[in-house]
Amino acid sequence: MKLVAEVKTHSSKWVKSKGEEYKNFYWQGGYGAFSVGANRIENLIAYIANQHDHHGRKTFQDEFRNELEKNNIVYDERYVWD
């Protein structure tokens, strides 16, 4: 948890230093983490590169729910979003 807090804190400061249009950038309160096998690195790179288009077709929330369900992770919708 502390690692994620540190990453969010420092990356927020870095993003905000990139220009006035990012002055209101912030991370949501919660987080989720999934590991990626070495054989899936190219897929991950492609996903990140096309994330804006991808989320135009499927919301982040729907995608996150799908990942939780695909990995048999039990969750309570009341505590997933802030």
Structural domain of 64: 32-82
- For the whole model, what pTM was predicted? 0.56
Tally the domains of the chain. Answer: 2
Classify burial at 73, counting beta carbons within 10 Å of its beta carbon; exposed 0-12, middle 13-18, buried 19 or more: exposed
Q: What is the pLDDT of residues 10-32, one digit of tens each?
A: 999 999 999 999 999 988 877 77
Same domain, 38 and 14: no
Q: What is the pLDDT of residues 32-63, one digit of tens each?
A: 788 889 999 999 999 889 988 887 888 888 98
Same domain, 21 and 46: no
**pLDDT number for residue 10:** 96
Same domain, 44 and 63: yes
Same domain, 44 and 5: no
Same domain, 43 and 71: yes
Same domain, 40 and 76: yes
